[in-house]
Structure formats: structure tokens, C-alpha cells
A and B are shown apart, each in its own frame.
Chain A
Amino acid sequence: MTIKNNRLTAQQYKEKFADIHPPFETSGAALLEANRCLFCFDAPCTKACPTSIDVPKFIKQISTGNMKGSALTILSSNIMGGSCARVCPVEKLCEGSCVLHNRQEPPIHIARLQRYSTDMALKSQWNLFKRKNSRGKKVAAVGAGPAGLSCAHWLARQGIDVTIYEKENEAGGLMTYGIAAYKVTPEFCREETDFITSIGGIEIKYNEELGRDLSLADLKKNYDAVFLGIGVGLTRQLEIPGENLEGVVDAIRFIYEIRKDGFSKTAVGDKVAVIGMGMTAIDAATQAKRLGAREVTMIYRRTEKEKPCTDEELEIAKLDGCNIIWLASPKEIHGENGKVRSLLCSKMELGEPDDSGRKFPFDTGETFVLEVDMVIKATGQVPYTDMLQSNRIKLSSGKIRIDANCTTNVGAVFAGGDCVNGGKEVVDAVEAGKEGAKSILKYLGITD
């Protein structure tokens, strides 16, 4: 049992990480699908979209051949409509609420149509948005993730000059560094960022970290307003013995490596345990398997009913051949020569519902041992508490507190995205960026 990289051939990597939701192959296929849409009034799909994309309208526009119109309909509600078409859990959003379910038919493939439209916009580099003349107002956004980019684009459209400070050397946030490689490619993230910034009035300064290279006070001094879209950090500690052994890794870091260093350079064990059952856990497990791990076992302390990931996500893991153990919690990691050898788990049982409304698991006292050489932790991310608190930003349970106007306790400082909601989806972050931008405009007294 070893942890090693380069387990597969280039061709194998390519196949295993191929696009999981491939686009329509022909415009005919897209048209056929577009024509299935009923053009609902007060459409449930639009209501289910956090960014309220007018779905029936953009689909109608595809069917009439008004492709620019359709792309504008999407992107004016959601500037990352291209990303969302690839990564949104649509089964619980737009497609999940399609009225065709009520007619016992498959829903309209909204995401695929959205991808068809936005891909064309990006490929053709359509200038869909015209920036208003500069108003001489400057806003700093921290973090070039979905929240920051969305906020910046909305402001830039209105003639605000935006500077984004990003600690990494690429934009996109978790779109670039977090989301599974079979959903979105780094090339696409770059293309999308270029498309967003092509409107003008947005400058991204890379390798600039708030708390290290700059302070909130500096930003407040130099800008009329500040938007925080810094997301959440690494995975929470398990707080169990053996956590520091070689072979215990953080899911976010593991995925980050795949995205940053490439498939062949990312090491993976023979027998891998993944702790957790959220989207991150699923992504870690499936990608460990796709990198060539022989056996991947996911461990979750509650049952399938309480799982935080969607059925579709779980299905991906199952189809990839990942084992799943419900009602189990890691108790201790055993090692040999400083390296992981096995994982001791407690068997759990469910009690009364807790604060989250889900039944609380408790330890039955019974245990079992899994022989593993790698443990991936995916039990929720921890916020950048220290940095935020040292900048006197008020938090509640680690999340930045904002009021109805997206404002933090510090004047002229706004926030949105994962750092406020604790970690949801890209689409929520895009909406939060938009809302933040609207609040900033209001704050700056811009009403037209």
C-alpha cells in the first residue's frame, strides 16, 4: 500500500476526467430540446434559480435563433451562466422544478441549453454588455471567486472602477481550484474570467492577500467601498488521534492539487477513506478513484436520508465504484512509521433532530477497522476567522454577518458568497455578488 502519483496513462486520465455533462453535439439537438419547453408563466424553473434567470425566455430565444438575445438573458441575471450550466446541482434547482416532472416526463435540459447559449457567447466573444461611462467611483473587491467576479461585473456595467485583490494567481475561486475536474476545465475558467473582465473597468491584482499584503483599513482609505468575497478556507479538523500522520489530507487541498498541478502529479493511495458526504466529499472520492485508487470508501455518520449531497452526486460516486458506509464516524487513525495504516471507526445510531433539523448521530460504542493508506477529510470548511476578526469584522458561527443591504458591521464594507453563507453553491455566490453590487450602488447614491 502506497501513496503515489502517475498511476495512469495520459489517455486514461483524459477519459476518466472527461466532461460529465457533455454539451449538445449539434444545433439540431439543442433546437429539439428547446422546442420541448412549454414557456410557462411565472415559471417554476426561474423561481428555483437563485439568480432568477428567465429560463423560458432564453430557451424561446434559442428556438427562434436569437442566440445573442438568449445569451444576454442568461448573463444579465447570472454573469457566470456558463459555469453554472456546468456545475449547478440543477436537479434540486431549475430542472428539479420543471413542470414536465408533473407530467411524468424528463425535465427540459435547462443546463445543457444554457451551456449551448453561453458557450456560443464566449466562443464568439460577443460584446453583450456596454459599460456606462466611468463615474469616478472606485470599489475594491477581495477575492476573484464567483461572488467577487459577479459583484465586479455588475458594478463595472454601471461605470464603477473595480479592483479585485486575489491571493492566488488565477481567478475563479473554487470554480478554478475546487470543483471537480470532470465538471469544468481550467481553460474554461480562464475564458470565462476574460469574458467577464472584457467589459472594461475591472482590474484583477493577483497574489495580493488581504491580511498579508494589504489591510482592510488600506482598502477603506483608497476606495469608496469594499466587497468581501473571500469564500471559506480549509477543511475543519477531525480532532481525533492520528490526524497528523502522513497520508491524512484535506479534501480542499487534495482537489486544489488536482486542479493546479494536474492529474499525473497528484498522489493518491491504494485504499482511500473519505470522511463526509457533502459535495466536497463526493468530489474527493470520485476523483481519488478516477486518479487510480484501487478502493475508495466514503464514511458518513448519518444515513442516506440525511446526506447533504444530492442523489445525483451520490450516484456519480456509486457509479465510480466508491464504497459507502453509513452511520460511521472516524475515531482514530492508526499509523506505522508515521504513515497511515488503518482507520478505526465508531458505529453510530440516530437520535433526535439537532439544530440543523437532521437527526443527531450518537456513538453506539461498537467499532470496526478499515485498512487504508490515505484518509481524505471533507467535513466542512472553516472560515478565515482570525483574519476577519483582526480586521474587526463581526462573525456569527464563523460566517460574516451582514444586514439586509449586504453591509458588514464595518461601514462601506460589504460581503457575500461562501464567506457569508458558510459554503453553498456557485450560483448562490453569483447572486450574492449581484446583491452586494446593488447595495454598493445604493450606498454610493447611484440610482440610474
Chain B
Amino acid sequence: MADISSNFLGIKSPNPFWLASGPPTDKKYNVLRAFEAGWGGVVWKTLGSQVKNVSSRYSAVDFNGHRVMGFNNIELISDRPLEINLREIREVVREFPDRAVIVSLMADNNKESWHDLIKQTEDTGAHGIELNFGCPHGMSERGMGSSVGQNPDIAKMIVEWVMETATIPVITKLTPNVHSVVPTAKASVEGGTNALSLINTIQSITGIDLDNFVPNPNVGGKSTYGGYCGPAVKPIALKMVASLSLNSYTNKVPISGIGGISTWRDAVEFMLLGSTTIQVCTAVMTHGFRIVEDMIEGLNNWMDEKEFQTTNDFIGKSVPYLTKWGYLDMNYHVVADINQEKCISCGLCYITCEDTSHQAINVEFGNPYNKYTIKEDDCVGCNLCMLVCPVNDCITMLEKRKGSEYLNWLEYQKRGLPLNDH
């Protein structure tokens, strides 16, 4: 069995799976259930000044009959009194000493408030602090949350205030509602943050009720932009994590990866791009805490299969495989191949290539089943047909290099090679 435990700035947890700051970590009752289920750590729901929430609060995007591809909320930070939260955090830390307990904070915009909140948090015995610079709704209208995360200077200033007094590790949680996460990440590292976490939610409107014209979630006939998360945001989050790992300044601090993680596979992907731990919110909100069982077993089995002893053996392993477009090999070429034995004749490859790609699939009409074959010379190797094919491994892409040497775009241009090859 592999060792899946994790050490994040000295904060230890039996596995790298933490719950992200949100409703699942809003009170002792939930957190105890999460720890009993096996979660390695939690980031407690954001604490700050007393707020009040509205009803309703959530909405979602379904896709082809699957519920909650994407999830959206307009909740604020914890709406429970601060003393109760602090007392419960203290109790949880005592009851589960082997788990990581990090507390998310969002103080009012002045140094005293931050210092005061950090002091009270540290008194609970919590292992770390996460700065919420990401909430994109409600709090941001009050100049907090993503309003901070969108302004590197303000972010840096607040991180500096925090670092003046914090004695436990500080993680800065970034907002994705920016053209690039790098500037604020850099500013936070300059301000002294010990680590970064990302992403918080993406501003969104998930849909509109076509009968009453009100976008959702409907709050008494009106709505407001919410924060989007869940499986739909994973690709965006992965890219943002990668951009920090590729940056020589931000990659000096550890990353806790967040955004659309539902399975051990998702988690491994975030880790391969440089996350030391990962955080989950939506997936437990839609399935309950028990999903961690498979996450633990899946990670273990995968690591055994790949002969990784510890998570450090693979964290960041995929980062070097990312490069700029201009360095991709132009001599690399693949063409689609349809396995006639597996083909069920749905024709999706044909119609998609014909209508939207390169007319590289031939159809022989039959009754009732047509036969589809690839016109190798016309195939540009885009993958589209393989992606839409509903049969596993029916369409595969075969490597047919155009030349043996590595040839990138810069070199290609320099040599004046032909641009229109079809």
C-alpha cells in the first residue's frame, strides 16, 4: 500500500483530500461526520463579520439528463455567530487530532479586524488559515472577497497585515474572476503568504426560468450573479493551477487545488499539475461525504500500480509536459482509424467531420446500416470523430509522422515550409 498522507507546510493529514470552505464545513456536526467518513482535512467555512443570507441560494446546470454538471450559489460567509464557530473549531481540533483543520477568514477591510480575527482563530488550536480573496457575490459588493483578489495591490497589503501577526501557516485563496490568476498570486507571495489555493467560484448565471423570465436562483422575483463550481469548472481550474506551477515566482509555495473535483482521478490530475492537497465542495454537496472512500482507495490503487511510494513522487509530474503552442512538433501527425468490428453505424463521426471538420470520412450507404471509413489523406488528426464516437476504443488515432525530426513552428516558418497542406 502506498503512503497517501500529506504534509502541507507542516500541516499533516492522513490523505490529501480536504473539504473546501463552504456549507459542508460550516459547523461541528458536518465536520465530525466528514472526519468519520475519512476526509483528511477541512477548511472551515469563512468567518468574518456577522452576515445574513437570502433564500433561495443555489441553482445548477444539468446536462443531458445528468444533474448538476455545474453548481451556482449566492451565499455569503458563515452566517453563524463567530463565538459558536470558534468554540466548535476548538472542539473538533481536539476530537480529531490527526486531521487538518484550516480556518477560512474574511475580515473587514482594516488591519485591526484582520489581526483580531487571526488572534481568535489561532486560539482555537487550528492548524492554518486560508484568506478568502475569492467570494464573487455579496461580499464583493462590500469590497471584500473577490474585490480583494482582483486587485493585486490590495491583496498584497492584506497579506502583509496578516503575516504581521499570524503564527500558523497562511494560505491565500484566489479568485478565478480575473484574466490571469498570476498577478494576484505573485502579489500574495510577495506579501508573504505561505501557500496558495484555487479556485474559488466563477461568476455566473446558470439559467433563466422561461415562464417568468427570472434568472435563477430566484429570490422573490429577482436574481443576482452567483459563483459557479462543480464538474463544469474543473478544466478552468486545472489551467489556473498549471499557470501557477509554470510561473517561477508562484511555484515556490505549495498549492491546494480546488474546482470541480469529484473523484480520485480529478484529484490526481490537480496533483500532477502541482497541487499538494486538493479541496472538494460541490461533489460532497451532491453526493455526501462517503465519496471519499473511493477517493482514498482509488488513489492508493493508482499509486501502487504506478509504483509511487508517496504523493511527492508525482506531484507536479505533468507540469513539464506543458509548453507553448509554438514549441509543439509540427511533424507529429495522427489520423483516425475506425475499427469496423466495433463500429455500430451511428454516423456521428461522419456527420461531425462532414459538417464541421474536414470531410475526411467516407460513407457507403446501406440498409439499415451505413459503413464509415476514414479518408486518410484528408484527415488532419483533430480527434473530433474519436471524441464523439459512443463506442470505447472504436475510433483510435494512429501516429503517422510527417517527418522524423522535431520541428516547431518557429523553425517551420524559418524554413518557409508550405502552409496549406490540404
Whether the Cβ atoms of B344 and A102 lie closer than 8 Å is yes
CB distance from A35 to the nearest CB of B (A): 4
Known: A44-B368, A63-B64, A97-B368. A38 touches B390 (CB 8 A): yes
- What residue in chain B is nearest A44 (Cβ atoms)? B368
Whole-angstrom distance between the alpha carbons of A358 and B65 in the complex?
47
A48 CB within 8 Å of chain B: yes
Contact of B347 among A41, A100, A103 (CB under 8 A): A41
Whole-angstrom distance between the alpha carbons of A254 and B363 in the complex?
50
Within 8 A of B (CB), among A35-54: 35, 38-45, 47-48
B345 CB within 8 Å of chain A: yes
Whole-angstrom distance between the alpha carbons of A100 and B346 in the complex?
9
A99 CB within 8 Å of chain B: yes
Question: Cβ of A48: which chain B residues have Cβ within 8 Å of it?
Answer: 368
A240 CB within 8 Å of chain B: no
How many interface residues does B have (CB within 8 Å)? Answer: 18
Whether the Cβ atoms of A41 and B346 lie closer than 8 Å is yes
Q: Residue-by-residue, is B340-356 near A (CB-CB < 8 Å gives 1, otherwise 0)?
A: 00011111101100000
CB distance from A101 to the nearest CB of B (A): 8
Whether the Cβ atoms of B65 and A102 lie closer than 8 Å is no
Question: Cβ of B350: which chain A residues have Cβ within 8 Å of it?
Answer: 41
Question: Cβ of B346: which chain A residues have Cβ within 8 Å of it?
Answer: 38, 40-41, 99
How many interface residues does A have (CB within 8 Å)? Answer: 20
A-B contact count (CB 8 A): 46
CB distance from B266 to the nearest CB of A (A): 23
Whole-angstrom distance between the alpha carbons of A44 and B347 in the complex?
10
Whether the Cβ atoms of B344 and A41 lie closer than 8 Å is no
Contact of B348 among A38, A45, A47, A97 (CB under 8 A): A38
B322 CB within 8 Å of chain A: no
Whether the Cβ atoms of A99 and B367 lie closer than 8 Å is no
CB distance from A321 to the nearest CB of B (A): 35
- What residue in chain B is nearest A101 (Cβ atoms)? B344
B84 CB within 8 Å of chain A: no
Whole-angstrom distance between the alpha carbons of A100 and B345 in the complex?
9
A31 CB within 8 Å of chain B: yes
B398 CB within 8 Å of chain A: no
Whether the Cβ atoms of A47 and B368 lie closer than 8 Å is yes
B369 CB within 8 Å of chain A: yes
Whether the Cβ atoms of B344 and A35 lie closer than 8 Å is no
Within 8 A of A (CB), among B339-387: 343-348, 350-351, 363, 365, 367-370
Question: Cβ of B348: which chain A residues have Cβ within 8 Å of it?
Answer: 38-41
Best-surrounded residue of B344, B348, B351, B363 (most CB of chain A within 10 A)? B344
A32 CB within 8 Å of chain B: yes
Whether the Cβ atoms of A63 and B65 lie closer than 8 Å is yes
CB distance from A208 to the nearest CB of B (A): 41
B391 CB within 8 Å of chain A: yes
Q: Residue-by-residue, is B385-422 near A (CB-CB < 8 Å gives 1, otherwise 0)?
A: 00000110000000000000000000000000000000
CB distance from B67 to the nearest CB of A (A): 11
Q: Residue-by-residue, is B59-93 near A (CB-CB < 8 Å gives 1, otherwise 0)?
A: 00000110000000000000000000000000000
Q: Residue-by-residue, is A212-233 near B (CB-CB < 8 Å gives 1, otherwise 0)?
A: 0000000000000000000000
Q: Residue-by-residue, is A54-83 near B (CB-CB < 8 Å gives 1, otherwise 0)?
A: 000000000100000000000000000000
Whether the Cβ atoms of B391 and A35 lie closer than 8 Å is no
Whole-angstrom distance between the alpha carbons of A32 and B64 in the complex?
9
- What residue in chain A is nearest B65 (Cβ atoms)? A35
CB distance from B10 to the nearest CB of A (A): 48
CB distance from A103 to the nearest CB of B (A): 5
Q: Residue-by-residue, is A10-52 near B (CB-CB < 8 Å gives 1, otherwise 0)?
A: 0000000000000000000001101100111111110110000
Question: Cβ of B365: which chain A residues have Cβ within 8 Å of it?
Answer: 42
CB distance from A64 to the nearest CB of B (A): 10
Question: Cβ of A32: which chain B residues have Cβ within 8 Å of it?
Answer: 65
Whether the Cβ atoms of A31 and B390 lie closer than 8 Å is no
Whole-angstrom distance between the alpha carbons of A45 and B65 in the complex?
22
CB distance from A325 to the nearest CB of B (A): 35
Whole-angstrom distance between the alpha carbons of A35 and B370 in the complex?
23
Contact of B370 among A34, A42, A63, A100 (CB under 8 A): A42
CB distance from B389 to the nearest CB of A (A): 10
Question: Cβ of A103: which chain B residues have Cβ within 8 Å of it?
Answer: 344, 390-391
Question: Cβ of B370: which chain A residues have Cβ within 8 Å of it?
Answer: 42
Best-surrounded residue of A34, A47, A63 (most CB of chain B within 10 A)? A47
Known: A38-B390, A47-B367, A48-B368. A31 touches B344 (CB 8 A): no
Q: Residue-by-residue, is A251-294 near B (CB-CB < 8 Å gives 1, otherwise 0)?
A: 00000000000000000000000000000000000000000000
CB distance from A53 to the nearest CB of B (A): 14
Question: Cβ of A34: which chain B residues have Cβ within 8 Å of it?
Answer: 65
Whether the Cβ atoms of B64 and A35 lie closer than 8 Å is yes
Question: Cβ of B390: which chain A residues have Cβ within 8 Å of it?
Answer: 38, 103
Contact of B351 among A41, A63, A97, A102 (CB under 8 A): A41
Whole-angstrom distance between the alpha carbons of A47 and B365 in the complex?
11
Whole-angstrom distance between the alpha carbons of A339 and B365 in the complex?
59
- What residue in chain B is nearest A47 (Cβ atoms)? B368
Within 8 A of B (CB), among A312-346: none
Whether the Cβ atoms of A42 and B64 lie closer than 8 Å is no
Whole-angstrom distance between the alpha carbons of A43 and B366 in the complex?
11
Question: Cβ of B363: which chain A residues have Cβ within 8 Å of it?
Answer: 42
Instruction: List 13 interface pairs A-B (beta carbons < 8 Å), by A numbering.
Output: A40-B345, A40-B346, A41-B347, A42-B365, A43-B347, A44-B369, A45-B368, A48-B368, A99-B344, A99-B369, A102-B344, A102-B369, A103-B390
Q: List the 8 closest A-B pairs by CB distance, nearest first.
A: A41-B347, A44-B368, A35-B65, A102-B344, A41-B351, A97-B368, A99-B344, A40-B346
Can you add 11 more A-B contacts, CB < 8 Å, to A47-B368, A48-B368? A31-B65, A35-B65, A38-B348, A40-B346, A41-B348, A44-B345, A44-B369, A97-B368, A99-B344, A102-B344, A102-B369
